[in-house]
Amino acid sequence: MNFNVQISGASTEIQIGESGIVYFAGKEEHKRAYEDIISLEKLSGDGKTCRLHYIQDHPFPNHKLTKEYLDITSEDNVLRDFQETLSKKISAVTKRPRKLSVFVNPIGGKGKGKQICDKEVVPVLQLAGIQTDVVVSQRAYHFKEITENYDFNSVDGLIIMGGDGTYSEIINVLMRKRQHEAGVDFNSSSSLLKTMDFPIGVIPTGSACGLARLAHGVIDVMTSVLHIIRGRTDHYNIVGGFNNNKLIGYGIICFGYVMYADLMYDTDVNYRWMKTFRYIYVPFMHVFIKPFREVEVEITYEYLENKESGDTTEEEKANLQGVTDDLDFEDRPYDKQPAKKDQFIMLDYTVCGRWAMAKHFANLYQLTEEHLDSVKHFVNFNRIKSVRLRATENNDPSQREMNLRFNLDGESHQLETPDVYIKLFPRCLTLYTSYKGSRRWR
């Protein structure tokens, strides 16, 4: 089926194909997949001009998606038939959601979550024909209560606007609900978790948005919105943290013991009065002022390959930080991606100079093989399936309470005993994304 129209004053045909439309603008042929067509919007009162809004990909290494448009002129009945045909194709061919709940953290990041939702997110979703139910949190941990009671059967998916802390709070509740409904004992680390098929879209409006970067290749609000409109999904890993045969929580980005746990505890508790300045002061204090605290830990790694599974080593002193995915060390084109493996990254630190540690943390969000090679004298790097950390009896008794600190996605937890087991649960989280590139933090 073809439609005779004018584009930029020149007559042309728009061809309706199985997977998209084809048209000429000047001498250049353009193809637009139906998932990339946002909408056809009427502009003039006489019905003779419409604006085709569409999603534009950009060449590697630019991972952003942008919203573009094309003005089309024709007779009223031609544009009306074109719009009707286009709408039917989009509904039939794509997996675009019809209605989404939008959970907004209004104070995360620069405190503009609600403003971005109202001015940038909801208008584009509505333009794509997607209904929204916007819910704004009113206090700390409010989303835990909201998520436990919200009727998700009334929507096709959920959008979370905030940062990693907000994502983690909501996803933890949803994962527990999914396992409870399936009769899975989530407190048992040996249980096989059920995948949470309910799709989630993450839009980066918080201070740290590592999950949005992993899922979309870039931290950009409009890119995230356009991935959601496309309607495609992919599965992502989570880790479970366990202590005394009970689930501590699920991690979507990172976890830490000793230095990272101490740093985040000071940020959340001891220096909260500093407000946003604490995010600068506390890391500086831990790297340049406070003595490095070390704990003797027995570590048991379970490897996916190359090393003996269950290899146990005694560490005289240790600081540990983990990342919940098999991160890539370099940004590669989509067609040159290595296969993702069911493993996650673990970094084990020993004492080093303060400047060396500061430089390492500055490079932590852009890990490369060259950097890890340059810090191998104080950073032990592993790709693993699980790890058990147990503080030995040889540690300073006065630091026992500190040795019970454990951090998961920036949330501080107090262990019952200084023994924690972290296990990977592959592909349990379903996210809205069409991104197929390298998975990196930043």
Q: What topology is assigned to 241-425 in CATH?
A: Tumour Suppressor Smad4 (2.60.200)
In sequence order, the 6+-apart residues with CB closer than 8 A to the CB of 147 are 103, 169, 170, 173, 174, 177
Q: What is the pLDDT of residue 442?
A: 57
d(Cα 170, Cα 8) in Å, to the nearest integer?
Answer: 47
User: In the Cβ-directed half-sphere of 138, how many Cα atoms lie within 13 Å?
Assistant: 2
Start-end of CATH 2.30.29.30 domains in the chain: 2-93
Pinpoint the alpha helices (H) of 182-332: 210-216, 221-230, 259-265, 278-288
pLDDT for 335 equals 82
How far apart CA 385 and CA 255 sit, in angstroms, is 14
Please tell me the predicted confidence (pLDDT) of residue 311.
60
Distance CA 49, CA 69 (A): 13
List where CATH 2.60.200.40 sits in the chain. 241-425
**Dihedral-angle region of residue 292 (phi above 0 means left; psi in -120 to 50 means alpha; beta otherwise):** beta
Rounded Cα gap, residues 227 and 215, in angstroms: 9
| pTM for this predicted structure | 0.92
- Residue 351 token pair: 């004492």
The ranges of the chain annotated as CATH 3.40.50.10330 are: 99-236
Give the pLDDT means over successive 10-residue stretches in the chain (442 positions): 88 93 87 96 84 94 95 92 94 96 93 96 98 95 95 97 94 96 96 96 92 93 98 95 96 91 90 86 92 88 71 61 80 82 88 88 79 88 91 91 93 94 95 90 60
Q: What is the pLDDT of residue 1?
A: 82
- Kindly report the CATH number that applies to the domain delimited by 99-236: 3.40.50.10330
Class of domain 2-93 (CATH, top level): mainly beta
Question: Residue 82's pLDDT is what?
Answer: 94
